[in-house]
Structure 1
Amino acid sequence: MGSVRRELLDHILILSERHLRRNVKAYVGYFNHARPHQGINGQIPIPAGPPLPIIPPLSQLRRIPILGGLHHGYQWAA
C-alpha cells in the first residue's frame, strides 16, 4: 500500500472510483511486470520471459509511458 500511495496517489488527482480503479490496476501491472524490486535482488516479481542472449544497441530501446508518463517501462524494439 505504501508504494501505491507514494508512487501513484501522491502524484495524481483521483476524480472518481472508476478513475482510481483504472489507475491502480495500471500501477499494479507496472509494479509486478516492469518495476525492479530491491528486496528480490533487483528482479521483478513476474518476469516477462527468458533474457535475450544478445543485447541490441541502446538505440533500439523504447520507453513506454505508464500512467500518463508518471512511470516508464522499457522494451527492446523489434
Structure 2
Amino acid sequence: MAPASRSYAPPQAPRANAIAERWIGTARRECTDRLLIVSERHLTSVLGSYVEHFNSHRPHRVLGQRPPDPPAPTAPAVGTTVRRTNILGGLINEYRNAA
C-alpha cells in the first residue's frame, strides 16, 4: 500500500504534479509563509484573495509579463496618477492608473 502523503499525476497529464507543486510553492512563498493563519476559514479567505490577485493582476513570465485574466486595457494619459490597492492587508500591492 502506498503512503498517504504521496500523490500521483493522472496518466494523461504527467506534468500535472509539477504544475500543481509550482503553484503551491508560489502561494506559500508569496502569501501564506508571511501571514499567521488562525483557522481554516481564514486560510480560505486568504487563498481566495491571493488566487484573485494571481489570476487577474500578477504578471506571468510565460505570458510575456501579462496576467492570465488581464483587466480591460486603459491607455495612460499624461498627468495621471497611479492608484495603489492593498491586497491581504498590504502584504501585496497592486498598482493601476487612476482614471
TM-score, normalized by length of structure 1? 0.87
User: 1:74–1:22: structure 2 CA closer, same or farther, 3 Å change rule?
Assistant: same
Quote the Cα distance in structure 2 between the aligned partners of 1:3 and 1:9: 10
Matched residues, number: 76
- Structure 1 unaligned regions, length at least 5: none
Quote the Cα distance in structure 2 between the aligned partners of 1:3 and 1:11: 12
1:74 counterpart = 2:77: no
Q: Which has the higher contact order (CA 8 A, sep 6+)?
A: 1
**SS at structure 1 position matched to 2:34:** coil
Quote the Cα distance in structure 1 between the aligned partners of 2:80 and 2:89: 23
1:52 counterpart = 2:52: no
1:15 counterpart = 2:38: yes
Q: What's the counterpart of residue 51 of structure 2?
A: 28
Question: Do 2:59 and 2:65's aligned partners in 1 also have CA atoms closer than 8 Å?
Answer: yes
What is the CA deviation profile of residues 27-65 of structure 1, one whole-angstrom value per residue up to 9, with x for unaligned ones? 00000001111121101000112x224x12475110111
| Aligned equivalent of 1:39, options 62, 72, 95 | 62
- Amino acid in structure 2 at the alignment position of 1:52: T
- Please tell me whether Structure 1 or Structure 2 has the larger radius of gyration of its CA atoms: 2
Q: What's the counterpart of residue 20 of structure 2?
A: none
Quote the Cα distance in structure 1 between the aligned partners of 2:44 and 2:25: 16
Q: What's the counterpart of residue 83 of structure 2?
A: 62
% identical aligned pairs: 42
TM-score, normalized by length of structure 2? 0.70
- Structure 2 unaligned regions, length at least 5: 1-23
**SS at structure 2 position matched to 1:10:** helix
